[in-house]
Structure 1
Amino acid sequence: MNLIRRWLEILNTMCNGRFSAEGNAFRRDINGLRALAVTAVVLFHFNIGGLHGGFVGVDVFFVISGFLMSGIIARGLQQGNFSIFAFYWSRAKRIIPALIVVAAILLVLGWFFLAPNEYKLLAKHARQSLYFLSNISYLRESGYFDSASHSKWLLHTWSLSVEWQFYLLLPILLTAVWKFFPGKKAMIFVHLIALACSFSTCLWLTNTSQQQAFYLLQSRAWEMLLGGLCFLLVSELKLSLIARRALESGGLFLIVASIFSLESSDAWPGFLALLPTIGAVMVLAAKREDSLWSNNRITKWLGTRSYSLYLWHWPLVAGLFFFYQQDNTLWITGAILLALLMSELSYRMVEQPVRRGLQQSSLPRAVASLAGLVILSVSAAQFVVNKDGLSDRMPAEIIQMIEKAQIGNNPRGGECLAKGVPCVYGGPDIKAIIIGDSHASALVTVAQGVLSTPEQGIYFEAAPGCLPVPGLNIREHFSNNHDDPCIHMKEQLAKTLETEMSQVPLIIINRTSMYPLGYNGIDQTLKRKPQAYASTPVDEPSSDSLKEFGQLYIEGACAMAKKRPVYLMRPIPEMKVEVPDAVGKEMLLGSPRDFTLSREEYKARNDFVWSIQDQAHEQCGVHILDPLPYLCDEKVCYGSKSGEPLYLDDNHLNALGGRLLAPMFSKAFSSMPYMQVHVRAAEANQPTPSISPPKA
C-alpha cells in the first residue's frame, strides 16, 4: 500500500507541478543523444560497421525534437510570454540557412556534372526541401531504402520536412488547449490522445502501406509527441542516482541494440520503432549530464555539429554512387572525412554567424533577409525545373545520346501496360500471344516487327511487376486489390486462355528472377525481398520459398502448354547502373566507356530461374527463348555498345537494344506451326550495335 501511495504521489506531482525553468540550458545528455543518433545515421548510410539499423537515429532525433519543442511551448505558455511567431522564427533561423547553402552548392555542382533529367530532379527536390514538403515528393517517387534513393541528393531532407510540419501544428494546438484549459494536466491529456492516434495510424499504415508510414507526419508525429510527453511528465521528477543510472543504461541499451539488430527490410516504423524511441525517452528522463559517454570532447563536437553533419553526409553518400565508388574503401574514408570537414565549416561559417547576424538585426529586416534568400533559392530551383534541366549547358552529342537512349519500344505502354488491359499490336490475324510484365511491354513491338504482313498481329496482356502464374501473389508494393492492374490482367488472362485463341502460341516474358529473389538494383548492400509468394511474404529467399515458387511456376507453365505451344524467355541481363545516365556521365567527364555485366554475374543472378525453366521444358515440352546470344559475347553482356546505350534504365531494353532481339523472335516464329515470318526490311536495314554471339 505504501508503494502504491508513493507512485500516486509521484503521478500527482508530475501532473500538477510547474515546468522546469532550466529548459534553454545546454544539456550534455541531449547533446550526447544527438551525437549518437547522427553517428548511427552516417555510418548506416556509408555502410560502415554492420550498423544495418542505423536509420533509427532519425527516430531518436524525432524524440529529442518533441522533448525540446514541447518544453519551449509549455514554459512560454506558463510564463505568459509565448509567441507562435517567435517560435516559428527561432526554428527558421536554426534550420533554413544551412539547408539553403547545401541546396545551392548542389545546384552549382549539378550544373557541371548532372544530365538534364538528373539536374531537373535535383532542382525539384531542392524546391520541395525548402518548402518542407520533400517527404511528400519522395513518397510519390519510391522507397527510402531502394537503389534509386542514391540518385536523390536531398533525400535525407524528408525528416526535416516532417519535423517542420510538426513545428507548424504543435504550437497552434497547445496554445488553443491552454486558452481553454490552462494547466499541465490538459497538455498531458492532449499529448496522450494525439500520440495514441498517431501511433495507431503508424501501425495501420506499416501493415497496409509501409511507404506512407515511413514518410507521413501522421504516422511519425507520435515519436515527437512521445518526447513531448517525456518533458511534461518527468521535467520535475526527482530520481535517485541509482535509478537515473539504470534508466540511462537501459535506454542506451535499447538504442544501441536497435542499431545493431534491426534491418532496412524490417517493417518500419511500427512496433519496432518503440525500441529506439523508448530508449531515447529513458535517457532523457535520466538526465545524467556527468556520464562519460556524453561528457567528452568528441561527443560534444558531434552533438553540436549534428545538424550540419546530417545535412552534408548524404550528398557525399550519393556522390560515391554517382562515381561508382560506393565499395571503394579509400573513397568512403575520404567522403566521411569530407563530411566532418563540411559540417565544421557549415557550423562555423553558416549556422553560428547567420544566427548571430539575424539576432542582431531588427526583426523586420532579419525576417525579410531570410525570406528573400528562401524566395531566391526556390526561384532558382524552379527555373531549372521549368527549363527541363537546362539541357543547353550540355554538349550536343550527350543530349542526342540521352534522347536516343530514351526512345522505348512501346509507345502504347500507358494505354496497355499501366492498366493491365488486353491490346492488339498489328493486324487482326493474331499469330502469337505475349504476356508478362514491363519487360514484355518493352519487347512486344519488336516481336510484331518480324511478322510477315501488316494483317498479322500480336495479342498482348501485361501489367507492371506482374507474374502471370496462378497461385503466386505479388507483394504489397504492387497493392493487391481489385484496382491493381496485375490482378485485373490475371483475371482477364484466365478467360482469354480458356475461351479465345485456344491454340495460338504463347510467349511469356518477365523480369522473372525478381519474383523469387527480389530486386537486383544498383545498391547490393541492402536485402532484397522476394516480390512473389504463395501464402505468406518472406523477407529473403529461403529453400522453402524457392521450392514453392519453382513448383507453382512449372505447374503454371505446363498447364498453359496443354493446349498451345508455350515459350518461356530467359531473363534479360540486369545492369548495375542506369545505363543512359552512366554513359552520359562518362562522356561529360571525358572518359567514355561501355557498361557491361559479366556472364558470371548474370549466371549467379539467374541460375535458379534457368533451372526451373529447364525443368518445365523437360516435363511438358515448353520452348525456351534465350536473348543472351544477341546481347552478350562469351564474357560479358552489354548495357551499351560503342557509346550507344541499349537500355532505358538498368533492366529495360530501349529501341536500339530491343532490335537486337528481332532475330530471336524471327527464329521462334519460324518454328511455330502455320507461320511464315521474316525480319522486315525496314527493321533489318536499321543499324544496330554489333555483338558477336558466343561460339558453340
Structure 2
Amino acid sequence: MRTVEMRASLHGARTIMQVSKPESAQGKPLSYRPDIDGLRAIAIVSVVVFHAFPDAMPGGFIGVDIFFVISGFLISSIIFRQLDQGRFSFTDFYVHRIRRIFPALILVLASCFVLGWFSLLPEEYRQLGKHMAAGAGFIQNLVLWKESGYFDVESDMKPLLHLWSLSVEEQFYLVYPLLVCGLWRARMPLRNSLVLLMLASFALNLWWVAQDPVKTFYLPFTRVWELLAGALCAFGVMRKGVAFSTSSFRLPHLPSIHLRSVLGLALLLCGLVLIDRHRYFPGAWALLPVTGAVLLVSSGPQAWVNRHLLSRPLLVWIGLVSYLLYLWHWPILSFMHILTPTRPGAPLPLAAVALSVLLAWLTYRLLERPVRFGAKSWMVPALLALLLSVTATAGYNDFQRNGLSFRLATHYAEQPLFVGTTDATCTADGGAGLEFCRQSRPGAPTIVVIGDSHAWHLYDGLASYAAQNGDIIGMRAVGACLGFSGVSADTKRHDCAPARDSIASAARQASVRTVVLSARLDIYDRELPGEVFEGALRDMLATLTAAGKKVIFVMDIPILDFHPKYCLDISMPLRPKTTSLPNCAIQQAVFAQHTQHYRETVNALLRQFPQVQAFDAAAPLCDHQQCWAMKDGQLLYRDYDHLSTIGSTLVAQTLWPLIHPIPQPGLRAAATKASPARKRS
C-alpha cells in the first residue's frame, strides 16, 4: 500500500493529501477536493460578516456548524483509513494536530496578551488572562458557559470568545479516536454505534435548548452530533472504497449528486436567512446548516455546485486560510470595540476584516507552512506544546494577579459597582429561584422593588436609606422580565412566567406599604406589541392598587451610547483619551427622542391610576442639556444602562422622600412627579 498522508484542518486551511498515486484501502484512488476548501470559505465568510456586520447576515454564526461537519468528516477520514491500513498511531495523530493547531493559536494568544498590556484596564486584562489560559487549555467553552449571566461582560469585549468552538473540537479529538479505535478493535458495529451517539446528542440538544440555551450552545455533549454527522459521511467513503459514495448513508429520493449539492446549498442559504440570535439554537434549527453541509460533502467533487461554485480559485484560497482567518478576525474586531468609545461606523469593521485577511495570509506563509511541512523532528511538537503551556501560564498569572495593575502609569482605583444579585436572607424569605433577590435584613419587608435589572440597580441606594429609618427593603426581579407580568422582551427568556407568582406574592405581602416598579421600559416598548406592553403594565398597577399598596412607577434612566469606563482618565499608550468624551454625557435631546414613545404611552396609562406616583429617575442624572455618566470624577453607571453604587445612591436620594414624604435629617432631596407637561424625555 503506497503512503497516503492526509492532513486535515480544524476550522480552516486547506486539506492536503501528499500522495504518490494515492490509493484507498480498497485500491481506489483518492484526490484532493478543492470543493471542501470552498465549503470552508462559505463558512468563514458567514462567520466574519456576522461578527463585523451582524445586521447584514443575522444567521452567519451557523458557519461554525458547517466547520463542525467538515472537521468530523476529515478527522474521521484520517482515522478510518489508517485503521483500515493497520497503521493508525495515536502519537502521529496528535503530533499532526499539534503542528496544525498550535502555531497560529500561540501567535494569536501572545498578540492579544501584548496588545492588552498597552490598552486594557486591570479587570479587562484579568479576564483576558483567564480566557488565554482557558483557550490554551481548550476549555474556553466551559469557562464561557460558567460566566454567562445577565451581567456578563458584553461579547464584543471578549477578544478570545471565539475559541469556544476550537475547545469543542479539541475535546472531541481527545475522546473520539479512543472511542473509534476501541469499537474497531472490538469488532463492534462502528456505523451503528456512531448513529446511536449522534441521535443521543441531538436528542439532548433538543431537550436542553429551551431550558438552558447557553448550556446547550457551549457544551460538547449537545454539539457532538454535528461532528458525528461528518463522521458518518467519512464512514460511507471508507467502507465502499469509492470516492464519496453514500451507498451506506443513502438519502432517499435524491439519486442525483447534482440535485443533492443544489439542495445542500439551498439549506445553507435558508439557514443564513431564517436563523438569527433570537432563535433557540442549536436546537432543531441547526439541522439546516448541518444537513446542508452533509449533502454538499457527500455529493462529491463532481457535483455541479461543488465543481462550478465551491471549487472557484477565490473560494479555495479563502478556505486555505480559513482557520487562520477565524483565529485572527474576532480579536481584531473585539479590540476595535474595546478601543472605540462610541459605536464604530462601517469603515472600522471593514478595515478590521481587511487586516484579518492580511494577517491570516502572512501567518499561513510565514508560520503554518514552515511548521507543518518542515522538519519532522519530535522537537517541533514538543516545543509547540511547551510554548502553549507558557502562554497558558502567563494568562493564568495575569488572572491570579488581578490584571497586573502595575502596568498603569497612574494610580487606578476600581469604581464601586454592584457585587451581588441574590443573598441568603432573600432566598430564605420566599425569593428562591429569582435571578435578582436581595433583602436588607431578615423579616417581613415594608418596601419592595420589583421589575427587571433596573429594579436591581436601585436596590443598594434605597437600602442605605431604609437602614436609617427602620424599614426592611426587598428586591425581587428577573432580567428582561417586566415585573410580575410574566412578559419578557427576550424571546429566549423562559423563566419570566415561573417567577411571576414569587414576585407578585412578595409585592402583595401585608407588611408591604410601598411597591417601587422599575424596568428598562424602552426595550419592552420596542420588542413587544403595544397592546401587550400596555396590558402588562395595566394589570400590575390594577393588582397593586387593589391590594391597597402605595405604588411608585419609575420612569427609566438614560441609556448611554458609550461605555462609561471610557470616562476614566487613564494614561495608557493605546487607551482612548478622555478628550474623546469630554463631557462623559449624552445629549438630553437624544435621550428625549429615544424615550418619547414609551413615556407618552406610560403617561397616558398613569392617568387611569391617579393614585400611582411617577418618579423620573433621569432627573438627578440630567440637566436641560446633558445626561451624565460621571460626576465629580465618579462613575454613575456600571455599563451602558445600569447604575453604579454611586449612581444608585444619587437616584435614591431623590426617590426616598417620595417613599417617605416626611423629610429625614441630612437628606437634601426633592421628589419630582412626572407629568405630560414636565418630561425629562
Task: Compute the TM-score of the two structures, normalised by the length of structure 2.
Answer: 0.83
Residue type at the aligned position of 1:640? M
Partner of residue 309, structure 1: 325
The question of 1:250 aligning with 2:263 is answered yes
Asked if structure 1 preserves the Cα contact closer than 8 Å seen for 2:261 and 2:296, the reply is yes
Aligned residue among 52, 62, 71 for 2:58: 52
Task: Compute the TM-score of the two structures, normalised by the length of structure 1.
Answer: 0.81
Residue type at the aligned position of 2:281? W
The question of 1:629 aligning with 2:619 is answered yes
- Of 422-431 and 110-119, more deviation after overlay is shown by 422-431
The question of 1:345 aligning with 2:362 is answered yes
The question of 1:330 aligning with 2:317 is answered no
Matches of 2:296 and 2:445, distance apart in 1: 70
Asked if structure 2 preserves the Cα contact closer than 8 Å seen for 1:37 and 1:58, the reply is yes
Partner of residue 521, structure 1: none
Partner of residue 537, structure 1: none
Deviation at 1:159, TM superposition (A): 0.7
The question of 1:111 aligning with 2:101 is answered no
The question of 1:580 aligning with 2:589 is answered no
Aligned residue among 507, 511, 514 for 1:500: 511
Deviation at 1:19, TM superposition (A): 5.4
CA offsets per residue over residues 449-470 of structure 1, 9 Å max, x none? Answer: 557x935324323234254334
Matches of 2:107 and 2:196, distance apart in 1: 38
Deviation at 1:428, TM superposition (A): 9.1
Matches of 2:416 and 2:296, distance apart in 1: 53
Matches of 1:249 and 1:448, distance apart in 2: 63
Partner SS for 1:499:
coil
CA offsets per residue over residues 20-40 of structure 1, 9 Å max, x none? Answer: 767974211111111111111
Aligned residue among 518, 528, 531 for 1:509: 518
Aligned residue among 77, 83, 87 for 1:71: 77
The question of 1:200 aligning with 2:184 is answered no
Distance 1:96 1:411, change over 3 A: closer
Distance 1:270 1:678, change over 3 A: same
Matches of 1:219 and 1:582, distance apart in 2: 42
Partner of residue 469, structure 1: 484
Distance 1:130 1:417, change over 3 A: farther
Partner of residue 212, structure 1: 215
Distance 1:429 1:255, change over 3 A: closer
Residue type at the aligned position of 1:377? T
Structure 1: stretches of 5+ with no match in the other structure: 1-17, 518-539, 685-692
Matches of 1:36 and 1:120, distance apart in 2: 35
Asked if structure 1 preserves the Cα contact closer than 8 Å seen for 2:449 and 2:459, the reply is yes
The question of 1:321 aligning with 2:321 is answered no
Matches of 2:292 and 2:445, distance apart in 1: 64
Structure 2: stretches of 5+ with no match in the other structure: 1-23, 248-253, 671-677
The question of 1:283 aligning with 2:292 is answered no
Matches of 1:145 and 1:385, distance apart in 2: 19
The question of 1:569 aligning with 2:586 is answered no
Partner of residue 455, structure 2: 440
Residue type at the aligned position of 1:346? T
Aligned residue among 393, 405, 416 for 1:406: 416
Matches of 1:642 and 1:334, distance apart in 2: 37
Residue type at the aligned position of 1:221? V
Deviation at 1:506, TM superposition (A): 2.8
Asked if structure 2 preserves the Cα contact closer than 8 Å seen for 1:507 and 1:567, the reply is yes
CA offsets per residue over residues 303-346 of structure 1, 9 Å max, x none? Answer: 11111011001112212312146542222221111011100111
Partner of residue 640, structure 1: 630
Partner of residue 42, structure 1: 48
- Of 249-258 and 51-60, more deviation after overlay is shown by 249-258
Deviation at 1:554, TM superposition (A): 1.5
Counting matched residue pairs gives 625
Asked if structure 2 preserves the Cα contact closer than 8 Å seen for 1:53 and 1:262, the reply is yes
Partner of residue 480, structure 1: 495
Asked if structure 1 preserves the Cα contact closer than 8 Å seen for 2:38 and 2:311, the reply is yes
Partner SS for 1:633:
coil
Superposed CA RMSD in Å reads 3.5
Partner of residue 190, structure 2: 187
Deviation at 1:677, TM superposition (A): 2.5
Partner of residue 32, structure 2: 26
Partner of residue 558, structure 1: 542
The question of 1:136 aligning with 2:142 is answered yes
The question of 1:383 aligning with 2:397 is answered yes
Matches of 1:609 and 1:461, distance apart in 2: 24
Residue type at the aligned position of 1:499? A
In the TM superposition, 1:348-387 aligns within 5 A as: 348-357=365-374, 359-361=375-377, 363=378, 365-387=379-401
Matches of 1:652 and 1:411, distance apart in 2: 14
Matches of 1:448 and 1:679, distance apart in 2: 16
Matches of 2:245 and 2:446, distance apart in 1: 82
CA offsets per residue over residues 231-289 of structure 1, 9 Å max, x none? Answer: 21245266999923222222222212322332221221122211121111121122126
Deviation at 1:77, TM superposition (A): 1.0
Identity %: 30
Matches of 2:449 and 2:225, distance apart in 1: 49
Aligned residue among 585, 610, 631 for 2:599: 610
Asked if structure 2 preserves the Cα contact closer than 8 Å seen for 1:166 and 1:221, the reply is yes
Asked if structure 2 preserves the Cα contact closer than 8 Å seen for 1:194 and 1:222, the reply is yes
Asked if structure 1 preserves the Cα contact closer than 8 Å seen for 2:236 and 2:245, the reply is no
